[in-house]
A and B are shown apart, each in its own frame.
Chain A
Amino acid sequence: MEIPYTVEIRRDTGLTNGKIGIWLFLASEVMLFGALFASYILIRTGAPVWPRGDTILNVPLATFNTIVLISSSVTMVMAWASLKRNRFGTFRMYMGATILLGATFLVVKYFEYSHKFELGLFPSTSNFLALYFTLTGLHMLHVIGGMAVNAYFWGPGAKLWKTNPEWFTNRVEHSGLFWHFVDLVWIFLFPTLYLL
């Protein structure tokens, strides 16, 4: 039994099931991070003093990470574009780059976190740090999730290209949307935590 509109679009909505599914999921993620930003606002406006981000956190490292993540967004969309151009090899290259850049982001975060711990700065130390670790921690979990999905499509999942290239292309697009969203969250997280 086949579910319609898995690959072909439904004419009156112009969408595939997967496309609407991923956007609905992203809508829920907006609310998830929204709650954390709302918490940041409430706690910060209620605090008598609040440290400026650059007095505690490493701005150059985070700027580097921002560039890494934005670059990974470009390679991600290029991976999808390669599939649309029927160039599987190029897809492999761009997707691989996306995964590597994601891994770079994680490595940098590892150094950031461990340096904080060395200095005795933990989530329990202050609300600034609690928010920093929780917000970037949850974001990091999303990076890992996105990387896992991307790795699947780079590796074992890629055999779908041979049997149903359009479906494969769509799924890569959807996974790309998630990855761009992760980048988008960071675009707001970075100034909020590090620069203000």
Chain B
Amino acid sequence: MRTKLKSRKELEELQKKLHRKLDTGKTRISICNGTACRPYGSNPVAESFKSEIAKQGLEDKVDFKVTGCHGFCEKGPIAIIEPGNIFYQKIKVDDVPEIIQKSVLNKEVISKLLFKEQSTGKEITAQNELPFYKNQTRIILGNNLLIDPTEIEDYIATGGYAALAKALFELQPDKLIGIVKQSGLRGRGGAGFSTGTKWESCRKAHGDIKYVIVNADEGDPGAYANEGLLTGNPHSVLEGLIIGAYAIGAHQGFIYVRNEYPLALKNMTIAMEQAEKHGLLGDNILGSGFDFHVRINRGGGAFVCGESTALMASLEGKVGEPRAKYIHTVERGLWDRPSNLNNVETWANIPLIVNNGPEWFSKIGSPGNSGTKIFSLTGKVNNTGLVEVPMGIKLRDIIFSIGGGIRGNKKFKAVQTGGPSGGCLPEKLLDSPVDFDELTKAGSMMGSGGMIVMDEDNCMVDIARYFLTFLEEESCGKCVPCREGIKRMRQVLNDITEGKGRESDIELLGEISVHLKESSLCQLGSSAPNPVLTTIQYFRSEYESHIKNKKCPAGVCKALIQFSIIDEKCPGCGMCVKTCPSNAITFMGKKKPVILDQSKCIKCRTCYDICRMGAVSIE
């Protein structure tokens, strides 16, 4: 049972002791059991490893760790074996005994579990050599591999909480704020405001009681970068928060986690309990005299609560309605007191900056955009997952070098960044550097890190309609422009996708957009037009096709497409007949093409997806 650490020295001694324990010559297996790997069955695989190791009595030979997100979510369940940095993917429960037998006991590599390069089929053994990983700069996420998020000592062993000790015992708050300012760190939640400047304003604000808040309400659909960090390395966020509290002079903190992230909630709760037991949180942290307590709050299923004033309203027990920010929240925020709110990833950067110095940090990334950014790269790419790259890297490099290009050899069409507040960027912008300023120039924004890749089979008008439908449901409903404006835009887009579009619709969408941008109460409303405006700007021809020709070139909008059987290709196997939910297809006998009754067809795509002969076409 760990006793409280009462001084910096005690922490350092513990860290040394734990670090020594790592160099034991044992084989280390690290298996990912993050949220994104669970649908692949990572939990049973992890359990299987545990029981197999116990069964064979190998606890003294094997150091087995269940960790959070490794990043390469596409290939889950994944495991890394050291020594050798062996990367195994798509592991099944049945593979476990073989892995123990061959790779752990006999140091052999199992070919079928290795990653194979897309184009050449070449097998790659070492995780660091995988194109997915070698083009990243994993200064934050990299540690996930070494840490069981439910064991604080893992975090301490890697040097965790040393930054906190340095801050508390070596740096005065003003100096600490200066360091953060100098590093050039900008808010990772999307707005990209200078973190150091924000801290400074909060510190200077009038009032004795101040608050620090972690915004973990990552609501952008398709973004789970914060989730991977919170679940995999909650202490990195906690440590950053405590350092920030010390710098600002706050003694109470809040972590607001989305209701839809049960694992993140669980792991952060455990982390807080353990930190408190170790004297790293609570009263008299590490004997420094600094008190700081944290409370976790769960979201209630409202995207708008990612907006800082709405989040604070929710913390106060009210509905998540934003309010005007003419007076900043750093002056009057939670309960009208100075409050500093930052995103999960922003907080996680702080220990790195304190440990390595602002110059080190500012050298990573691009001018005015220091450091790295974690993206959830998803959609139609081969290698989906959480990627961490230096600011300024080209979109093309993320999507093709790391992402491995478009799956199924389809053609790239667009990439959506910034969630519903961002925009869709076309092929001609693929060489744009990814940073706050460049993305904004292109009409999109960084957002919290969602990066969704689309191909020729995605309809951009449908995508715009999708985002507006989402925002309409998530709007708090307080202000007229957002509540009524998004509704009207969504209606127009519905009409367009149903073949009822009018010539004047594009202009109308533009006019409502300007109004929303200028008159909305909060950013939900003012950035709602972005998906519409960018798709009109870069994919106008698709809109015109829907409106003028009543056609959906990508074959998505149901009212504008028709499924039909290509007689020459149909072998009469009857697969589609069996699976058609509306009995619209009639079996005509073997080797005879089936007949599709248009009047019964509900355009569900089941036949198209199931036919192995490519005998169903969409027009």
Q: Is chain B found bound to chain A in the same assembly?
A: no
B: which residues have CB within 8 A of A? none
B-binding residues in A (CB < 8 A): none
